[in-house]
Amino acid sequence: MSDRDGALERLAARRARVAGALTAAVMAVYFGFILLIAFSKPLLATKLRPGLTLGIALGALVIVISWLSTWLYVRWANRRYDAALDELRK
């Protein structure tokens, strides 16, 4: 196996780790939210301030976190992953 193949294999493994970790994080956030709804409805009805319950805040947060997770990945990929790919292209 040449150096290049080894480098490619390490990069592939690194990308799979990043992708897997981020996927697991988003799953944990979303299914955590669903389980809270299923098991602790009174908790989510807690009012943080007039007109804002914990449930609404967390729901909006799930949407924002999903988006931020894509931003995080794109930033990693644009900086690290693409730089490593450029190395491999040489």
Partner 1 sequence: MALLFFFLFISITLGITYWAARRTRTTEHFYAAGRSISAGQNGFALAGDYMSAASFLGIAGLVSTTGFDGLIYSTGWLVGWPVVLFLIAEPLRNLGKYTFADVVALRLRAVPVRIAAALGTLATVVFYLIAQMVGAGSLIRLLFDIPFEAAVVLTGAAMIVYVLFGGMLATTWVQIVKAGLLLGGATLLGLLVLARFGFDPTALFAAAAEKYGDAVLAPGKLVSSPLEAISLGMALMFGTAGLPHILMRFYTVPEARAARSSVFYATGLIGYFYLMTFVLGFGAMVLVGPDAIRAADAGGNMAAPLLAELLGGTPFLGFISAVAFATILAVVAGLTLSGAAALSHDLWVNVVRGGRSESDEELRVARFATVALGLLAIGLGISLEGQNVAFMVALAFAIAASANFPALVLAIFWPRLSTAGAVASMLTGTLATVLLIWLSPTIQVDMLKEAEAWFPLKNPALVTIPLSFAMGIVVSLLRPEPEAEARYRALARQMHLGHEDT
| Contact between 58 and 44 (Cβ < 8 Å) | yes
End-to-end, the C-alpha distance of the chain in Å comes to 18
For 2-18, the DSSP string reads -HHHHHHHHHHHHHHHH
Q: Tell whether residue 10 is a contact of partner 1 (CB under 8 A).
A: no
Residues between 11 and 70 with contacts to partner 1, criterion CB under 8 A: 11-12, 15-16, 18-20, 22-23, 26-27, 29-31, 33-35, 37-39, 41, 44-45, 47, 49-53, 55-56, 59-60, 62-64, 66-67, 69-70
CA dist., res. 69 & res. 81, Å (int): 16
Burial class (CB in 10 A: 0-12, 13-18, 19+), 27: exposed
Q: Tell whether residue 74 is a contact of partner 1 (CB under 8 A).
A: yes
The footprint of partner 1 (CB under 8 A) covers 8-9, 11-12, 15-16, 18-20, 22-23, 26-27, 29-31, 33-35, 37-39, 41, 44-45, 47, 49-53, 55-56, 59-60, 62-64, 66-67, 69-71, 73-74, 77-78, 82, 85, 88-89
